[in-house]
Amino acid sequence: MLIFLIEKAKHLSNNWSPIISLQLDLISSIEQLFFFFAAFNIFGKSVETFTGLFIYFLLMLDKSYHISKNFRSKWGKKLLSWYSIHKRDLPWRKKENQNFYRIWISEVMLQQTQVKTVIPYYKKFLKKWPNLESFNKASLNEILQQWQGLGYYQRAKNLFLAKEYLKNNKLFLDPTSLKKIPGIGDYISCSIPAILNDYSCGVVDGNIKRVIKRSFDIDENRKDFNKLVGKIAEELTPKENNRDYCQSLMDLANIICKAKLPECSLCPIKDECRSFVNKIEFKKIKSRKKKYKYGVSFIVKFQEEFLIEQNKKKLLQGLYTFPMTDLLEKKKNQSKKNLFKSLIENWKVEKNLLFDHKDLCFVEHTFSHFYLKLLIVKIELSSKMKFRDLMWIKEKKFDVKPKSILVKKVRERI
Ligand code: SF4
């Protein structure tokens, strides 16, 4: 037992001396005093009390995620010195873009979207609306038009709602006030004041979460996982220069501590990382096999006009599209032909449009979670009928409406 304890202590002190020092600081907490007295009463001998405390101490240490001052300062210094050399040159980091509006747009665009995809959209967006005053005049349609192809269209809708909110409410750059703005949650409410005003708050997005999870070897299945990561992030955050600190974590997560496979040998905080020190093996994450979905899009024409609708579904919300069925997976033993047939018939009955149709072609498209095979079907009408939720539009007018890449592909094929 004694040998085990000595070995365990040696291992922990080799790897975690900064954390041990904090544990010793904490011996004065009420919990530990209680333990001390209880152990003393039970054993009555100092040597047994010491052993009890030692075991308790080791158990606490193994589970503990407290950060000592010393650890925090080493962690921060290493990250900042790495950042001073490897900092990414990104448009939203340029001096002229250091204001609320421009940082806000970049942070919204970067949610769920890769940097290289965002850059051209960000530049285009700022060219059209260089500041909040000009953006205030934008309509939802115009914003959606600029957003075409960037995905997650709810973000564009939230930008519209947010600028309407800001017309009537004064802007304060602190997390609590920022969270009242539509579309701004925990992450952006903290990243904006940190980047702009060096505000000290724990910035945590999905990427930073990954770095903390690995560095502290936290089990993702813990019920309190998000809370714990947030607490550690908060404790690690420096009182000064959070501007560079939070961006250094963002860069580290993107350049080195990558989702698929981290490059630990190049990592500036590898000596502080439990996963690295404990030689935890990272298996290359295989990309999840995407499912196939099927749907039908209808080109319903009367002379030079066709029917369109404004999408209400979450996937392409707010964008204009040709009428489309639900996108479904194929059931076991169901042929694609039968699936398309039932989709067409159900839609025609629902719209009371029981005319002959003609199959035109297939369009394939990849969404982030699935592949889509879309059958394009044409129906020519001899008179102009009215439909609930659908509108008639001339081809030229449709071209200036905001639409998704998928609808653009369909448009090119007809
Ligand atoms: S050592 Fe590896 S796992 Fe740990 S933070 Fe660095 S890159 Fe990530």
Predicted pLDDT of residue 45? 62
CA distances from 221 to 111, 224, 234, 288 (A): 23, 8, 21, 19
Predicted pLDDT of residue 404? 84
> Is 209 touching ligand 1 by the criterion CB < 6 Å?
no
Of the listed ranges 26-30, 72-76, 217-221, the least confidently predicted one is 26-30
**Final residue before a domain boundary, out of 230, 248, 277:** 277
Predicted pLDDT of residue 35? 59
Span from the CA of 258 to the centroid of ligand 1 (angstroms): 9
DSSP one-letter string for 74-85: HHHHHHHHHHHH
Please indicate, yes or no, if residue 284 is contained in any of the structural domains.
no
Same domain flag for 127 and 257: yes
Nearest CA to ligand 1 atom 1: 270
Which atom of ligand 1 lies closest to the CA of 262? 7
Same domain flag for 305 and 375: yes
Same domain flag for 217 and 315: no
% pLDDT > 70, the chain: 82
Please indicate, yes or no, if residue 134 is contained in any of the structural domains.
yes
Predicted pLDDT of residue 290? 85
Domain that holds residue 342: 291-413
Predicted pLDDT of residue 37? 56
Q: What is the total count of domains within the chain? A: 3
> Is 276 touching ligand 1 by the criterion CB < 6 Å?
yes
Same domain flag for 149 and 127: yes
Please indicate, yes or no, if residue 215 is contained in any of the structural domains.
yes
Bigger pLDDT: 28 or 375? 375
Average pLDDT, the chain: 85
Predicted pLDDT of residue 20? 39
Same domain flag for 56 and 75: no
Task: Looking at 27-114, list the stretches that DSSP marks H as alpha helix, in order from N- to C-terminal side.
Answer: 30-43, 46-63, 69-86, 100-110
pLDDT tens column, 252-264: 999 999 998 899 9
Please indicate, yes or no, if residue 300 is contained in any of the structural domains.
yes
Which atom of ligand 1 lies closest to the CA of 264? 2
* Other beta carbons less than 10 A from residue 397's beta carbon: 11
pLDDT tens column, 95-107: 999 999 999 999 9
Paired with 358 in beta bridges are: 378
Bigger pLDDT: 334 or 171? 171
Please indicate, yes or no, if residue 133 is contained in any of the structural domains.
yes
**Final residue before a domain boundary, out of 25, 45, 61:** 61
Predicted pLDDT of residue 402? 85
Same domain flag for 162 and 273: yes
Rounded average pLDDT over 28-52: 58
Cα–Cα distance measured from residue 239 to residue 235, given in angstroms and rounded to the nearest whole number? 10
Q: Are 302 and 384 in contact (CB under 8 A)?
A: yes
Predicted pLDDT of residue 61? 53
The encoded tokens of residue 179 equal 């969270």
Residue 363 scores a pLDDT above 80: yes
Bigger pLDDT: 159 or 413? 159
Cα–Cα distance measured from residue 147 to residue 154, given in angstroms and rounded to the nearest whole number? 10
Residue 323 scores a pLDDT above 80: yes
Which atom of ligand 1 lies closest to the CA of 263? 7
Helix (H, G, I), strand (E, B) or coil at 376: strand
Span from the CA of 224 to the centroid of ligand 1 (angstroms): 22
Confidence band of 55 (pLDDT split at 50, 70, 90): low
Residues with catalytic annotation? 107
Rounded average pLDDT over 22-37: 47
Same domain flag for 132 and 262: yes
Same domain flag for 20 and 130: no
Nearest CA to ligand 1 atom 2: 264
Please indicate, yes or no, if residue 160 is contained in any of the structural domains.
yes
Same domain flag for 153 and 10: no
Bigger pLDDT: 345 or 82? 82
Predicted pLDDT of residue 30? 47
Confidence band of 315 (pLDDT split at 50, 70, 90): low
Rounded average pLDDT over 289-303: 90
Helix (H, G, I), strand (E, B) or coil at 294: strand
The encoded tokens of residue 303 equal 């002379």
Cα–Cα distance measured from residue 256 to residue 82, given in angstroms and rounded to the nearest whole number? 11
pTM: 0.74
Span from the CA of 255 to the centroid of ligand 1 (angstroms): 11
The encoded tokens of residue 266 equal 């190049």
Same domain flag for 267 and 305: no
% pLDDT > 90, the chain: 51
Rounded average pLDDT over 6-32: 44
Predicted pLDDT of residue 117? 94
Which atom of ligand 1 lies closest to the CA of 269? 6
Here the CATH number for the domain that contains residue 304 is: 3.90.79.10
Same domain flag for 245 and 134: yes
> Is 208 touching ligand 1 by the criterion CB < 6 Å?
no
Predicted pLDDT of residue 396? 82
Please indicate, yes or no, if residue 286 is contained in any of the structural domains.
no
Please indicate, yes or no, if residue 285 is contained in any of the structural domains.
no
**Final residue before a domain boundary, out of 224, 246, 277:** 277
Predicted pLDDT of residue 100? 97
Same domain flag for 301 and 350: yes
Nearest to 140 by CA among 153, 152, 150: 153
The encoded tokens of residue 381 equal 């009408």
Of the listed ranges 169-178, 202-211, 343-352, the least confidently predicted one is 343-352
Cα–Cα distance measured from residue 396 to residue 407, given in angstroms and rounded to the nearest whole number? 15
Here the CATH number for the domain that contains residue 101 is: 1.10.340.30
Please provide the distance, in angstroms rounded to a whole number, between the alpha carbons at the two ends of the chain.
78
> Is 267 touching ligand 1 by the criterion CB < 6 Å?
yes
Nearest CA to ligand 1 atom 8: 257
> Is 270 touching ligand 1 by the criterion CB < 6 Å?
yes
